[in-house]
């Protein structure tokens, strides 16, 4: 799934137009609505960049990269202000931790991806970028320039429960008490074998 799929373009655009058409000053709680409009304005900038099918980023001085950086700073400053406040509860005044993490990793990763790869004869089209590509890029850069907080396959691989080749569907690495025999790939076995006790009548 690409980033623009998550942005829900039409819904966000309609919401921004709808809120913009309202006389905010006449509402009972205008400050709350202004905050909503401000968030929609920032997320609309992200949508504008990642849904542009006609313009690729060909230079790191592209103003769209600066715009994304500014949007990222706005969200980070918002989080910092709420976190440092003794009167505001983060759970009620911020987006979820997962959403903030996704936003940071997507924007920072995309900006870094452009700085590393955009150059003479090379361009990046934001509309085809997805989170997997950004995560893979950040992982490769971590391996090349030093380890980061994300482990490599060699580090976490041995601890992952998996079914290896030439083992039965019940793996010796899983949380089961049945051990897998060697060279049983050719021996037919049921995926959901019923217990003998359950078959008694």
The number of beta carbons lying within 10 Å of the beta carbon of residue 107 is: 23
Residues 135 and 111 grouped into a single domain: yes
> Is there a domain that residue 88 lies in?
yes
- Do residues 141 and 182 both lie within one domain? no
The pLDDT of residue 180 is 47
Residue 43 pLDDT: 86
81 lies in a domain? yes
Residue range of the domain that includes 27: 3-151
pLDDT at 174: 46
Query: Distance between CA 24 and CA 39 in Å, rounded?
Result: 15
For residues 167 and 77, state if they share a domain: no
Q: Is residue 95 part of a domain?
A: yes
Is 38 within the bounds of a domain?
yes
Q: Does 97 map to a domain? A: yes
DSSP 112-178: HHHHHH-BTTB-B-GGG-BHHHHHHHHHHHHHHH---SSPPHHHHGGGS----TTS-SS-TTSS-SS
pLDDT value of residue 91: 75
Whether residue 112 is found in the same domain as residue 49: yes
Report the first-to-last Cα separation within the chain, whole angstroms.
50
pLDDT at 98: 84
pLDDT at 141: 52
Q: Are residues 81 and 170 in the same domain?
A: no
> How much is the pLDDT for 66?
94
Mean pLDDT per 10-residue segment, the chain (201 residues): 47 58 67 77 87 88 93 91 83 82 86 84 83 65 52 51 46 46 53 56 50
Q: What are phi and psi of 42, to 5 degrees?
A: -70, -45
Residue 128 lies in a domain: yes
pLDDT at 7: 47
Q: Which pLDDT belongs to residue 92?
A: 79
* Residue 32 resides in a domain: yes
Number of independent structural domains in the chain = 2
Residue 122 falls inside a structural domain = yes
DSSP category for residue 54: S
Question: Which pLDDT value is given to residue 65?
Answer: 93
Please indicate, yes or no, whether residues 72 and 11 belong to a single structural domain of this protein: yes
């Amino acid at each position: 799934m690409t980033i623009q799929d998550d942005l829900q373009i039409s819904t966000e655009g309609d919401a921004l137009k709808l809120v913009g058409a309202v006389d905010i000053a006449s509402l009972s709680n205008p400050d709350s609505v202004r905050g909503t409009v401000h968030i929609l304005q920032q997320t609309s900038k992200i949508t504008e960049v990642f849904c542009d099918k006609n313009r690729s980023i060909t230079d790191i001085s592209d103003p769209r990269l600066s715009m994304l950086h500014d949007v990222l700073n706005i969200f980070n400053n918002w989080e910092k202000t709420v976190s440092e406040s003794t009167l505001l509860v983060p759970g009620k005044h911020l987006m979820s931790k997962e959403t903030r993490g996704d936003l940071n990793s997507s924007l920072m990763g995309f900006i870094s991806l452009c700085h590393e790869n955009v150059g003479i004869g090379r361009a990046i089209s934001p509309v085809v970028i997805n989170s997997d590509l950004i995560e893979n890029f950040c992982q490769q850069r971590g391996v090349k320039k030093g380890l980061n907080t994300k482990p490599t396959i060699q580090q976490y691989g041995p601890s992952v429960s998996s079914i290896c080749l030439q083992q039965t569907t019940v793996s010796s690495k899983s949380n089961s008490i049945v051990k897998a025999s060697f060279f049983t790939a050719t021996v037919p076995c049921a995926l959901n074998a019923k217990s003998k006790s359950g078959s008694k009548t």
